[in-house]
Amino acid sequence: MARPVLLRLAPALVFSLSFLVGAGVSANGLWRAPQATVSALAAAPRCLHWRVVGLCFWLHCTIKGCKVKVSVKVSNYAPDAFTTSFTSDFLLTDAAGNIEARKRPGEPRDHQIFRDADLYGHPLAGARFLGGLICSSRTVPLFPYFQSTLDSPVWRSFVPVESLYPAAWIPGLREIGKFPFNTWGSVYPRTGRVVQQEEPKAGAVIAQRVGDIGTRRWQPHVYIPLKAVKSPADGMKYWFPGPLKEGDSRTGMWQMFHPRVDRSCYTFGANDSLKLSSWSDGRRSGDGEYAFNLWRPYSCCRRRGRFLFSIP
């Protein structure tokens, strides 16, 4: 009988916790893990989008001979990670030598907001439901894939490497929302500074930036890609989602769980410019912290031998 998932993940969990303590970095987001779990379970009926997408064919051989076996291929969204953006209790100077301002609730605003951010493997990652009929996330629960305090040189623009990307200085490239009339902000430069008068939308932009970094390899940041440290496959063959792209639900969707718990998943950038209410209404945080679950689409099927092929 297979060992429990948590037992097999114990080395990674111990490493992640010792890594946080040893490095002296903020574990701010870890305290949101129970809330991330409860909110994901509450939103599962609307976020899961489970469906049968095909069949997998396997070659199963024994001493009596070989035969082809078949298993059902399914697809669904799974909570891959959760991200938090928050104000720090210390000040640093920016690349120009100015004191970095962390806008707190009630302070005068110049539409420029700075936040630190974390990205952790979701607590439900690796959990099996309905005997493997639902694909689970392959990230490691609570593993620190990104922490802006370790990425300070780039996150605080001391090293302006993000400015090398065309999207960082050409308006309209990689925008969250429809440019130029309904933009929440640009994905690039992927730093902690956002120009946005609505604080909840600024938190969403930072979440999108962190997700953009974490779902790609070889980015100029201090981080570990989500695919680099995976949970056990647990007798299943998986097809991984591609890199996160703003506005594209096929690459991932978001669910706010602090300060408000949403019961559905969506992409950022909703056009509320002509509406009486804004997406930010009822979402302003008293402590300046914003947290989101990141749901991404997985496909999987149960292993029944050596994989041959799959058909839709």
User: Which comes out higher in pLDDT, residue 90 or 211?
Assistant: 211
- Taking the C-alpha atoms of residue 73 and residue 53, their distance in angstroms, rounded to an integer, is 6
**Average pLDDT for the chain:** 86
Lookup: tokens for 239: 């097809």
Q: What is the pLDDT of residue 159?
A: 95
Do 53 and 75 meet the contact criterion of CB atoms below 8 Å apart? yes
- Taking the C-alpha atoms of residue 164 and residue 223, their distance in angstroms, rounded to an integer, is 19
pLDDT in tens, 229-248: 988 878 899 999 999 999 99
Identify the DSSP state of 75: E
Residue 215 makes CB contacts below 8 A (sequence gap 6+) with 225, 226, 241, 242, 243, 244, 251, 252, 296
What is the pTM (predicted TM-score) of this model?
0.86
Average pLDDT value for residue range 131-158: 93
CA 286 to chain centre: 23
Task: Decide if pLDDT at 17 tops 90.
Answer: no
Residue 151 identity: D
- Taking the C-alpha atoms of residue 175 and residue 167, their distance in angstroms, rounded to an integer, is 9
Task: Decide if pLDDT at 257 tops 50.
Answer: yes
The CA-CA-CA angle for residues 174, 245, 25, to 5°, reads 95
pLDDT in tens, 169-208: 999 999 999 888 888 999 999 999 999 999 999 999 999 9
CB burial of residue 284 (10 Å; 0-12, 13-18, 19+):
middle
Separation in Å, CA 249 to CA 105, 124, 182, 190: 31, 21, 18, 20
Please report which helix (H) or strand (E) contains residue 56, including its range: strand 51-62
CA 123 to chain centre: 12
- Taking the C-alpha atoms of residue 178 and residue 270, their distance in angstroms, rounded to an integer, is 9
Local structure of 60: helix, strand or coil? strand
Q: What is the pLDDT of residue 146?
A: 97
Listed residue (105, 81, 303, 109) closest to 214, CA to CA? 81
Token pair 């912290």 is found at 289
Q: How many CB atoms lie within 10 A of CB 82?
A: 30
Lookup: tokens for 266: 């969506």
Listed residue (205, 189, 210) closest to 279, CA to CA? 205
Q: What is the pLDDT of residue 129?
A: 77
Separation in Å, CA 263 to CA 16, 42, 130, 215, 260: 29, 6, 21, 24, 10
